[in-house]
């Protein structure tokens, strides 16, 4: 069987889409009705994004599309054509933990970790928009995520901690450059 025929058999009515995943140009085949979450995991191999409820409730599948947190189980893969998609893998490109992840580690803000990738992606987006959130605001933001292990308190503490550290670093830089 020719390579082309083999590809067509494996992919059926699939179409090829291209996007930027964690800063790298990627492409792959997806069926017209395939969810972005399945495409990212199974076709592109970015399995850090988890899938729980598959109907927009638990938040486990949250990633960022063009810098904005989005539930990948509520998007079709074809809708991501040409867009910038970031997943939890992109938070630690050099195999080191980013500051948000380090804060989660410090505060023991995860147990089984199933919810964590989605929560991290929401928090990363949120803290860019709201650098000085109150505890109430953080809890409100987290209300879009279900964590059955932690009771949320350590997650809130981690988010407030990293926000405070970022603000302190920004102030120190301002003083340095004054």
Q: For binding to ligand FES (CB under 6 A), which residues are involved? A: 51-54, 56-61, 71, 73, 110-116, 147-150
Question: What is the smallest separation between the CB atom of 61 and ligand FES, expressed in angstroms?
Answer: 3
**Please, are residues 63 and 41 in contact by the beta-carbon 8 Å criterion?**
no
Task: Specify the residue, 87 or 150, whose C-beta has the smaller distance to ligand FES.
Answer: 150
Q: Which residue has the tokens 């969810």?
A: 35
Question: What is the smallest separation between the CB atom of 127 and ligand FES, expressed in angstroms?
Answer: 19
Question: What is the smallest separation between the CB atom of 145 and ligand FES, expressed in angstroms?
Answer: 8
DSSP-derived pairing of the beta strands 62-65 and 24-30 = unpaired
Q: Cα(37)–Cα(30) distance, rounded to whole angstroms?
A: 11
Task: Specify the residue, 46 or 73, whose C-beta has the smaller distance to ligand FES.
Answer: 73
Question: What is the smallest separation between the CB atom of 2 and ligand FES, expressed in angstroms?
Answer: 38
Q: Cα(107)–Cα(135) distance, rounded to whole angstroms?
A: 15
Q: Cα(65)–Cα(31) distance, rounded to whole angstroms?
A: 20
Question: What is the smallest separation between the CB atom of 151 and ligand FES, expressed in angstroms?
Answer: 10
Task: Specify the residue, 108 or 167, whose C-beta has the smaller distance to ligand FES.
Answer: 108
Dmax over Cα atoms in the chain, in whole Å?
Answer: 68
Alpha helix stretches (DSSP H) within 42-178: 99-106, 116-129, 135-142, 153-177
Task: Specify the residue, 24 or 148, whose C-beta has the smaller distance to ligand FES.
Answer: 148
Task: Specify the residue, 79 or 166, whose C-beta has the smaller distance to ligand FES.
Answer: 79
Question: What is the smallest separation between the CB atom of 88 and ligand FES, expressed in angstroms?
Answer: 14
Q: Cα(178)–Cα(129) distance, rounded to whole angstroms?
A: 25
Q: Cα(169)–Cα(142) distance, rounded to whole angstroms?
A: 25
Task: Specify the residue, 21 or 40, whose C-beta has the smaller distance to ligand FES.
Answer: 40
């Amino acid at each position: 069987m020719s390579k082309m025929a083999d590809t067509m058999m494996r992919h059926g009515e699939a179409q090829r889409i291209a996007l930027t995943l964690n800063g790298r140009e990627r492409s792959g085949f997806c069926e017209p009705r395939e969810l972005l979450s399945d495409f990212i995991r199974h076709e592109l191999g970015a399995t850090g994004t988890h899938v729980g409820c598959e109907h927009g409730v638990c938040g486990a599948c949250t990633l960022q599309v063009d810098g904005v947190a989005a539930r990948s189980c509520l998007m079709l893969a074809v809708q991501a054509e040409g867009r910038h998609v970031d997943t939890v893998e992109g938070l630690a490109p050099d195999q080191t933990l980013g500051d948000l992840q380090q804060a989660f580690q410090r505060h023991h803000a995860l147990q089984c970790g199933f919810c964590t990738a989605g929560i991290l992606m929401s928090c990363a987006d949120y803290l860019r928009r709201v650098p000085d959130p109150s505890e109430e605001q953080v809890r409100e933001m987290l209300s879009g995520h279900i964590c059955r292990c932690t009771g949320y308190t350590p997650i809130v503490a981690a988010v407030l901690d990293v926000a405070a550290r970022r603000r302190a670093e920004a102030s120190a830089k301002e003083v340095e450059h004054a």
